[in-house]
Amino acid sequence: MMLEWSATELSAAIHARKVAPSEVMAAHLAQVATVNGAVNALVSLHDPDALMAEARALDNVAPTGWLHGIPFAVKDLVATAGLRTTWGSPLFADHVPLKDDLVAARLRGAGAIFTAKTNVPEWGQGSHSFNPVFGVTRNPYDLTRTAGGSSGGAAAALATRMVWVADGSDMMGSLRNPAAFCNVYGFRPTWGLVPSDAEGDTYLSTLSTEGPMARTVEDLAHLLTVLAGENPAVPFPRALPDLTTLDRDIKGLRIGWLADWGGAYQMEPGILPLCEAALRQMEALGAIVEPIPLPFPAEKLWQSWTTLRAMLNAGGKRALAEDPAKRALTKPETLWEIEQGLSLSAQAVYDASTIRSRWHAHAARLFQTYDALILPSAQVWPFPAGWRWPETINGHPMDTYHRWMEVVVPASLIGLPALSVPIGFSAQGLPMGMQIIGRSGDDAGVLSIGQAWHRATGWPQKRPPLAEAPVSR
């Protein structure tokens, strides 16, 4: 059943001429028509007749790229030539770019057919994919709940078998949180492995990165190969590691369990026990799991993170706050970020960078002992879709709109590779995941642990109710 194939299997079938791109497109469009109305994961859908014509034109063309003839929905934070791109903002509700961003250009170059965009929060801020242009993306496992964000549309589209593989981006867990909420994989690569476009600041902006999402780790590796590669116009290039030998024995690997960071991170009931059950499964695969005491003050990490994040938001989005017309159409959370950034002193930014540097050095020492570190991917279960964000966890108030996502900061702050893997469900059937975090540059090592986990568990095969009887093609 084509919709259940991995992207790797689908690509191999297209390259072997066992299935034609037009057949794949027909299956994709049928599934979108069946399930997208319920989850609202895909937006700005292209004309179906035009898409079928584009696919038929590839039926007898020799494949040149891994994504040849595969329907692809690009995250709505990535500009796509000729396909509406809004960033979830009413300011760009009718915006149709004239050229592709780098990520879109690389996807097109690998043969993808762009069919739609995946829904996001306005400006990608907040891990809940709702915006005034398209509304809210709902969780395929419980339509009353959020799919997470900012790659929530991508995660929900993967879970419902509307797409085979997806791009995402991650500053504050935007690949990892929605992957956990939707029972798929989301990989934040080492910072710099997937370069940015040469626009605006490219020296200080080292918190966010693009990355792949998929239902198998093998697909993550293939898509990462498409997305990665030097962009000479931006600094700090990184070479792509060998991702062809992910099937490795994890016996003897030392895994550090960070749990709730010494009690600093509030966790809703059931999340830590589910992670601990997953770690026992890793031990059964031969890994050595050891609890790690508080490795670094959480408040220092938060100070550094919020300072640097606010600085970058103020620098890149200041015009949204200063123009009254734009300000009126900008979400309060974005305006808050800008105002926080504009109030910063140079000393505050320097202090934040110093904390970041100290954490980098301490983490490097941890990786002299451990092959990987583990944290939950989220601190809460998928929450009601009508909320803006969780205002409390276990009765503890969250003092900002993103404090409930704090568990993703340790990896993001210093650009470490982090893979969110599915680990099962709550008693209410809500998905959750945990982060496998590696040393800087060890993307292959992190993915190999994920591959062993996937082969042992196969969690994404547990389809949500919407995809229990997918369209047969």
Q: What is the pLDDT of residues 343-359, one digit of tens each?
A: 999 999 999 999 999 99
- In the block, which residue shows the tokens 């490097």? 364
Mean pLDDT of the chain: 97
Q: Is the pLDDT of residue 468 over 90?
A: no
SS3 content of the chain, % helix, strand, coil (to 5): 40, 15, 45
pLDDT in tens, 394-449: 999 999 999 999 999 999 999 999 999 999 999 999 999 999 999 999 999 999 99
Question: How far apart, in whole angstroms, are the C-alpha atoms of residue 156 and residue 138?
Answer: 8
**pLDDT at position 141, please?**
98
pLDDT in tens, 26-72: 999 999 999 999 999 999 999 999 999 999 999 999 998 999 999 99
The average pLDDT across 375-404 equals: 98
Q: Is the pLDDT of residue 469 over 70?
A: no
Q: Is the pLDDT of residue 470 over 80?
A: no
**pLDDT at position 327, please?**
98
Q: Is the pLDDT of residue 472 over 80?
A: no
Question: How far apart, in whole angstroms, are the C-alpha atoms of residue 177 and residue 376?
Answer: 10
**pLDDT at position 1, please?**
84
Instruction: Determine which helix (DSSP H) or strand (DSSP E) holds 177, and give its type and residue range.
Output: helix 176-182
Question: How far apart, in whole angstroms, are the C-alpha atoms of residue 213 and residue 74?
Answer: 11
C-beta separation of 318 from 297 below 8 A: no
pLDDT in tens, 450-463: 999 999 999 999 99
- Looking from the CA of 189 toward its CB, the CA atoms found within 13 Å total 31
Whole-number Cα distances in Å, 446 to 106, 159, 221, 362: 24, 22, 11, 19
**pLDDT at position 466, please?**
78
pLDDT in tens, 88-97: 999 999 999 9
**pLDDT at position 467, please?**
76
Of 100, 97, 92, the closest CA to residue 124 belongs to 92
pTM above 0.75, yes or no: yes
pLDDT in tens, 205-256: 999 999 999 999 999 999 999 999 999 999 999 999 999 999 999 999 999 9
Q: Is the pLDDT of residue 98 over 80?
A: yes
pLDDT in tens, 156-195: 999 999 999 999 999 999 999 999 999 999 999 999 999 9
Beta-ladder partners of 130:
136
**pLDDT at position 350, please?**
98
Active site residues: 75, 150, 174
Q: For the chain, which residues make up each domain, given as ranges?
A: 2-467
- Contacts for 454 with CB less than 8 Å, ≥ 6 apart: 185, 216, 217, 421
Question: How far apart, in whole angstroms, are the C-alpha atoms of residue 359 and residue 351?
Answer: 12
pLDDT in tens, 130-149: 999 999 999 999 999 999 99
Structural class in CATH, domain 2-467: alpha beta
Beta-ladder partners of 185:
214
pLDDT in tens, 288-311: 999 999 999 999 999 999 999 999
